[in-house]
Amino acid sequence: MAVFKPENVEDFYEIGEVLGSGHFAQVRKVHERATGTYWAGKFLKIRKNACSRLGLDRSRLEEEVDILHAIQHPNIITLKDVFESRAEVVLVLELVTGGELFDFIAEKENLLESEAIEFMEQILKGLGFMHSKNIVHFDLKPENIMLSDRVAPHPNIKLIDFGLAHRFHQGEEYRSSSGTPQYIAPEVITSDPLSTAADMWSIGVITFILLSGLSPFQGDTDDETLRNIIVMNYEFAAQHFSMTSSMAKDFIQKLLVKDPSERMTAEECLLHPWIKPITRTQVAKRNRSSINMKSFKKFNARRKWKMSYNMVWMCNRLVRLNLLCKGRSEADPLERQCESDVEDGESKPASLLRRRLSSSS
Ligand code: ATP
């Protein structure tokens, strides 16, 4: 069981600039007073009480922390320390300075498949390690694939955000409806028992986007996206995949498989000829094929725009909530605690809220 230190994080770390924000977390650069080392502090709000819909359950945070402790791998973010106060938990994480992989790629003029594969291989190695420990990420998407340092000649992938991750116990049946519509597997939508295969579906979607700049199941609304996933409505549109090798398409086709037990595992992916070519012809094919950079850049620009739109929308909501709380300061304290969490009259469970907010669609 992970140790949550009761001390004040600020006694040990100087809190610096904001590096990023998620649904329940704000991530800031922190400076360790004793050593002078920089880390990333992930500040997470704890749910105030059972009827509150803002913040996270402590048990959920314990799971995130336990999982991070269990998976120490060069391609997975490292957890150093955990602090807990009355209202929040702070995870002190390894600082990654290279930004998101997709942003790094979008800055390039062109990229060969063989270069993109170097990144895919690292992602698969990190994932394979997690899966070997029966841990599933459940929220793989471009925002959660970062680079430790973008100036290095071969930047190192770091998988982040284990907020939805789950460790399977022997014989356990686990269902969850959380995730991000564009990237979730059909069995998540149909509430069937889940497994490591759910992450492999997301890898299929991410690879599809990386090569073509198209999101395979993207609809005009989240509902349409989810329907497209259920009916497996996707195709390799000729104008977007003209530069793609047949091996890459085969790789994707073996991941976007409806039956989870038929999907390639991370270990199998690492042995697929697209990742690990055996013949000279296979090597040559990868070096001749490239990613559709024009389309990829467009996808990434749209994705970033939507992320900032979601962030502004979320900030506005929080400001409104704050005003709501202040206006009700005379109410019964317990009622006030519960009502202060009412979100514009919506009654969405937290998992759906997370799904909606994390949507890049
Ligand atoms: P989400 O709402 O997407 O589930 P979250 O609330 O769980 O997110 P994270 O995704 O872990 O939070 O972090 C939010 C953002 O903070 C990331 O997108 C990234 O930009 C930044 N970030 C997270 N961890 C680190 C880190 N270790 N080093 C640098 N930046 C980080």
Report pLDDT digits (tens) over 241-252. 999 999 999 999
pLDDT (average), residues 62-74: 96
Confidence of residue 322 (pLDDT cuts 50, 70, 90): low
* CB-CB contact of 209 with 241 (8 Å): no
Amino acid 321: pLDDT: 55
Q: Which of 97-106, 265-274, 278-287, 326-335 has the lowest mean pLDDT?
A: 326-335
Selection from 210, 214, 249 nearest residue 228 by Cα: 214
Residue 60: phi, psi to the nearest 5?
-65, -40
Both tokens of residue 263?
A: 């999907």
pLDDT (average), residues 37-62: 88
Largest interatomic CA distance in the chain: 76
Residue 160 in contact with ligand 1 by CB distance below 6 A: yes
pTM: 0.88
Q: Which is higher by pLDDT, 320 or 157? A: 157
Residue 93 in contact with ligand 1 by CB distance below 6 A: yes
How would you label 202-213 residue by residue, b for 16+ Cβ within 10 Å and e otherwise? bbbbbbbbbbbb
Residue 184 CA to ligand 1 centre (angstroms): 19
Amino acid 306: pLDDT: 87
Report pLDDT digits (tens) over 193-205. 999 999 999 999 9
CB atoms within 10 A of CB 89: 23
Both tokens of residue 108?
A: 């390039």
Distance CA(183)–CA(226), nearest Å, equals 10
Residue 42 CA to ligand 1 centre (angstroms): 7
Residue 163 in contact with ligand 1 by CB distance below 6 A: yes
Residue 263 reports pLDDT greater than 90: yes
Residues annotated catalytic, as ranges: 139
Residue 330 reports pLDDT greater than 60: no
Residue 329 reports pLDDT greater than 60: no
Report pLDDT digits (tens) over 181-238. 999 999 999 999 999 999 999 999 999 999 999 999 999 999 999 999 999 999 999 9
